[in-house]
């Protein structure tokens, strides 16, 4: 019995510490820093180069949500909407921590006229951003207009203006 206690008690402590440490690590932030070179390519408009960069990184890290998300973003800006959606779906299947994926996936869906699915993605983005992202409301308003819901579009545009005013006065 004593041997069992001496074995189980340290095991529980080890597992508890492992869980506590694991929860505090922000792997998304680490990956964003790790793949900064490719992200900068996107930010400076080198989309083809970014796709190639993330293709190579995905070969090394096939479970990197950030790599798939950023490759999707590059495809979005290259107007490869279906490839962008595929990459965003793959990224979301790995992790939901990068909230901009919902916004960009919604944009790609909007561009292929899949307004119902785009609306769902923009709703998720609004929830994850806690209703504080202007772009989400602008794009969702576009979807509402495409769906013929001008009242909802007007509310989103008003919310967008309100957020913009709060940002300027802060």
Inter-residue contact 54 to 71 (CB < 8 Å): yes
Domain 26-98 classification at class level: mainly alpha
Query: CA dist 7 to 19, 20, 91, 108, 127, Å?
Result: 19, 20, 40, 54, 45
pLDDT of 29 reads 82
- φ/ψ (deg, to 5) at 119: -60, -40
Q: What is the pLDDT of residues 29-69, one digit of tens each?
A: 888 899 999 999 999 999 999 999 999 999 999 999 999 99
What is the CATH number assigned to the segment(s) 113-170? 1.25.40
Inter-residue contact 147 to 119 (CB < 8 Å): yes
| pTM assigned to the model | 0.82
Neighbours of 58 (CB within 10 A): 17
């Amino acid at each position: 019995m004593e041997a069992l206690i001496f074995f189980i008690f340290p095991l529980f402590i080890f597992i508890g510490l492992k869980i506590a440490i694991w929860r505090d690590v922000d792997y998304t932030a680490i990956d964003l820093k790790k793949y900064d070179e490719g992200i900068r390519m996107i930010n400076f408009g080198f989309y083809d180069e970014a796709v190639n960069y993330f293709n190579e990184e995905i070969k090394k890290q096939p479970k990197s949500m950030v790599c798939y998300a950023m490759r999707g973003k590059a495809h979005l800006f290259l107007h490869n909407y279906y490839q962008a959606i595929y990459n965003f779906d793959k990224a979301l299947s790995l992790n939901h921590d990068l909230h901009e994926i919902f916004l960009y996936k919604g944009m790609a869906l909007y561009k292929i006229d899949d307004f119902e699915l785009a609306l769902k993605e923009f709703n998720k983005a609004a929830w994850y951003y806690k209703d504080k992202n202007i772009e989400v409301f602008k794009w969702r308003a576009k979807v509402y207009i495409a769906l013929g819901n001008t009242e909802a579009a007007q509310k989103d545009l008003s919310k967008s203006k309100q957020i913009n005013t709060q940002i300027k006065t802060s």
